[in-house]
Amino acid sequence: MNRDGRPRAPGFAVPPRIGARHAPQVSFEFFPPGTEEMEAALWSTIERLAPLGPRFVSVTYGAGGATRDRTHATVTRIERDTELRAAAHLTCVAASRAEVDAVALRYWNAGIRHVVALRGDPPKDTGRYTPHPGGYAFASDLVEGLKRVADFEITVAAYPEVHPEARDEAADLDNLKRKLDAGATRAITQYFFDVETYLRYLERVRAAGIDVPVVPGILPVTNFAQVKRFSAMCGARVPGWMADLFDGLDEDPETRKLVAASIAAEQCRVLQANGVDEFHFYTLNRANLTYAIARILGLRPASGDAAAEPDPAG
Ligand code: FAD
């Protein structure tokens, strides 16, 4: 028998029992909805995930600042109408410093105290990033600017597989340090699928003297084709074993969901077994996968599980 009271097969390593570990801290990321239907789907997702007691939830800022007003409306509604702490993503793209500062001040005045500060990517099909003349050039500049506006809590991005535009691994780590020196106190990583990639990165981060939380960003994948396309742009490697698992499931969304939940839960369980106790979920505004994975990791809703609502987003 092992410590869980289960028989141990001689010669086999037994992973910890599912749900047996100390429940981790989590945060959830949403994107601002573009239609009334998407808005309804987001709010049912928020209602389902909120009882899990996330440390915070965050709302993205569309490429090129295209969702400025929608991001603001979503973040402030979460802060006003729920018990959740909301964080606003903010980028440097396509805006002057004065414009970005004004957005930040509006957040501060609406009670938002946490910003996820990013450089941002250029709007689709507009080519390489070029800083706005008179804007913040990089995320570290934005962090500095935000701290001048008000004493925000600031989270920044980190890249276990190195940001695609970075000169090299060392330059990318230097950049993370710059963002922290400017006042950020936490990083969330780009998603990754090989757990070792993150664990090795964390070793490099710690060896560089960085001691803030570098929270793994977890993307439960259901649309594999889309993730493959997106990963090619953002520098996240899609391993061959994952392509194999989704192979032949294009017309089988139900099995894809089960496979996706298994992959992400396995990834998080191995991270947990290696001492990771905080996770950030890229929810894509869908509750069910994230909810199931969070349960597997040991989280329970404060008031017990409600009957599962059908996931309107699929
Ligand atoms: P930076 O930290 O500024 O780095 C960008 C690149 O520039 C890196 O290669 C860096 O090494 C290099 N660099 C930095 N400073 C200098 C310098 N002084 N000189 C030369 N090179 C330099 N995008 C959105 O548009 N909206 C979002 O809401 C959003 N949310 C995200 C959330 C998370 C958790 C993550 C991981 C990413 C998110 N992104 C979002 C994507 C992000 O905007 C892109 O990955 C972008 O390409 C880089 O942003 P950054 O903040 O990491 O940039």
pLDDT in tens, 276-311: 999 999 999 999 999 999 999 999 998 766 655 555
Q: Higher model confidence: residue 22 or residue 132? A: 132
**Is the Cβ–Cβ distance between 156 and 185 less than 8 Å?**
no
pTM for the structure as a whole: 0.93
| Active-site annotation, residues | 29
Segment among 15-24, 89-98, 217-226 with least mean pLDDT: 15-24
Residue 230 lies in a domain: yes
- The fraction of the chain above a pLDDT of 70, given in percent, is 90
pLDDT, residue 257, reads 92
Query: Which region among 99-103, 123-127, 228-232, 250-254 has the lowest average model confidence (pLDDT)?
Result: 123-127
Beta carbons of 165 and 129 less than 8 angstroms apart:
yes
pLDDT band at residue 9 using 50, 70 and 90 as cut-offs: low
User: Residue for token digits 């439960």?
Assistant: 220
Report the residue among 29, 130, 175 best suited for mutation to probe ligand 1: largest number of ligand atoms under 8 A from its CB. Answer: 175
Name the amino acid, one letter, at 275: G
Summary mean pLDDT of the chain: 91
Ligand 1 contact, 141 CB (< 6 A) = no
* 10 is a domain residue: no
Q: Is residue 309 part of a domain?
A: no
**Mean pLDDT within 232-257:** 93
CATH of residue 225's domain is: 3.20.20.220
Tell me which amino acid residue 8 is.
R
Q: What is the mean pLDDT of residues 185-211?
A: 97
**Which of 92, 118, 234 has most ligand 1 atoms within 8 Å of CB, for mutation?**
118
Q: What is the pLDDT of residue 2?
A: 54
Residue 18 lies in a domain: no
Residue located nearest, by CA, to atom 29 of ligand 1? 60
Higher pLDDT, 67 or 170: 170
Q: How would residue 13 be classed by pLDDT, with cut points 50, 70 and 90?
A: low
Contact 60, 71 (CB under 8 A): yes
User: Given pLDDT bands bounded at 50, 70 and 90, which one contains residue 188?
Assistant: very high
- Asked whether residue 313 carries a pLDDT value surpassing 50, the answer given is no
Q: How far is the CA of 51 from the centre of ligand 1 (A)?
A: 31
What pLDDT, on a 0 to 100 scale, did the predictor assign at position 312?
47
User: CB-based contacts of 169: which residues, under 8 Å, 6+ apart?
Assistant: 162, 204
Q: pLDDT confidence of 314, banded at 50, 70, 90?
A: very low
Q: Determine, yes or no, domain membership for 163.
A: yes
Residue 171 CB less than 6 A away from ligand 1? yes
Q: Is 66 in the pocket of ligand 1 (CB under 6 A)?
A: no
Question: Mean of the pLDDT values across residues 159-164?
Answer: 96
| Any atom of ligand 1 within 6 Å of the Cβ of 27 | no
Query: Cβ(32) to ligand 1 under 6 A?
Result: no
Q: Which residues contact 106 (CB under 8 A, 6 or more apart)?
A: 72
Q: Which of 211, 206, 165, 167 is nearest to 185 (CA)?
A: 211
User: Is 1 inside any structural domain?
Assistant: no
Mean pLDDT, residues 107-130 taken together: 90
Closest residue by CA, ligand 1 atom 1: 139
**Residue to substitute in 60, 119, 218 for testing ligand 1 pocket (most ligand atoms within 8 angstroms of CB):** 119
The CA 121 to ligand 1 mean position distance, Å, reads 7
Angle at Cα 149 formed by Cα 146 and Cα 153, nearest 5°?
Answer: 50
The CA distance from 223 to 161, in Å, is: 22
Nearest atom (ligand 1) to Cα of 188:
34
- Asked whether residue 286 is domain-assigned, the answer is yes
- CA of 69 from ligand 1 middle (Å) equals 21
Q: How many angstroms does the Cα of residue 251 sit away from the middle of ligand 1?
A: 35
From ligand 1's centre to the CA of 118, what distance in Å? 5
Q: Of all atoms in ligand 1, which is nearest to the CA of residue 171?
A: 11
- The residues, ordered by sequence, that sit 6+ positions from 30 with a Cβ below 8 Å of its Cβ are 42, 45, 46, 57, 58, 59, 60, 74, 283, 285
> What mean pLDDT comes out for the span 177-192?
98
* Overall number of domains in the chain: 1
Range of the domain at 121: 25-296
Tell the residue nearest (CA) to atom 30 of ligand 1. Answer: 60
Give distance in angstroms: CA of 94 to centre of ligand 1: 14
Answer yes or no: is 3 within a domain.
no
